[in-house]
Structure 1
């Protein structure tokens, strides 16, 4: 069964990691997909090629999510290509690990602008289009287990993920009357570009794996199913929710 048959799905940060997995997962379920990405041209092109190999339409738009105009441009181009916007997956994010006491202002501000401002503007632009269309829609934001727990070298990052989680709760209230559902997924430790260097240390990786009841770290594909579910009509009465996708890590942090 194709859960997103006939839908159009927009994904930010779609060239690698969770965004790429979500984009391809949506295509496998029958959606046409537009991805936004920041810099990885070859990865974006290969993602589009994989989606098209599944028989779906796709395009990639390069742009910085920290800029409000990127969001309006992305949505406008998706409408021009596909005629509508049914789903927004707000995934783009960065986490340059750094200590708290000497956090450079530019690192703090860039993290806020990409993770929080980017999510806000993308979700707002998609919601405006969905309201204009008049037939509802779904927004899924990629938050993090870091919205619920602290991180010594993530004092700039964890507040943004708590903010994304909170944004979906408030947006669910604001947009419910338009039949637009807003939910977040909270990944645990997923092997992506964000933490590749941090987990290169075998001892640290073993330690992190030991905290997960399922006995392994996550892969981007582990998020594709939950995101597709929340985007689909199977979740028609789910809004304002936050779904942990962490192999049980959160409940085992004791």
Structure 2
């Protein structure tokens, strides 16, 4: 029970890593606000799973690519749950596409969601934490793609490197206010973001064989490290990046 008495906000939390993180936070004693875009049924299901654990929960719809969504989400979460202690920036997209004919809109949409959205969401959460005057924790979901390239991810990898860099800089900017900022860098995790890319069983098996732990990741594999970074166990950890990839990055030979 690492988050008892805390209020946790998670973006992109109706499915995948965001959903797993929101529910894990509730299991550890937190009340949770989730941001979502898309399926209201999935958002309602996540809220139901949290309330079934005896915690409070709300779902707030909004496109993180719109800067106004950030202040709306944080304000409504604080009003409903009383405060903001932990903010998890998870929302992201990766529409796979070749580099040479990358559509401008695909590139710009990916930037607006993954990087611009992270910037304004983190800014809004940090301002709320400052107003409360008791510090807080911010965790951003970056990616192993911040460290390595991808032929069909030339629009995506720069955003994830940017999210990691954002956490490094905000760790400096917000440290004096008692706000810790860290990132997690997932490896290949089975979520909607890569469902089509990994639809081929042979490709999935080939990817799994490259991972020392012998399998692709699942959303719950990332939720645990996020809860750790959000908790007081990590009270002296800020500006750090935690690679959670089953050992894929180090397996170069």
- Distance in 2 between residues matched to 1:79 and 1:111, nearest whole Å: 28
Match of 2:78 in 1: 79
Query: Contact 1:211 / 1:253 at 8 angstroms: preserved in 2?
Result: no
Answering whether residue 227 of structure 2 is matched by residue 228 of structure 1, we say yes
Please say if residues 66 and 113 of structure 1, whose CA atoms lie closer than 8 Å, have aligned partners that are also in contact: yes
Other-structure match for 2:91: 92
Instruction: Give the secondary structure class of the aligned counterpart of 1:244.
Output: strand
**Number of the residue aligned with 2:127:** 128
Gaps of 5+ in 1: none
Q: 1: distance between equivalents of 2:133 and 2:252?
A: 43
SS in 1 for 2:169: helix
TM-score, scaled relative to structure 1 = 0.99
**How is 1:99-138 mapped onto 2 (pairs within 5 angstroms)?**
99-138=98-137
Q: CA deviation at 1:82?
A: 1.1
User: Does the residue aligned with 1:61 lie in a helix, a strand or coil?
Assistant: strand
The 2-side partners of 1:117 and 1:13 are apart by 14
TM-score by structure 2 length?
0.99
1:1-254 correspondence to structure 2 within 5 Å: 2-254=1-253
Structure 2: give runs of 5+ residues left out of the alignment. Answer: none
| Alpha-carbon shift at residue 253 of structure 1 (Å) | 3.1
Shift of 1:40: 1.3
The SS at the match of 1:252 is: coil
How many residues align structurally? 253
Query: SS in structure 2 opposite 1:251?
Result: coil
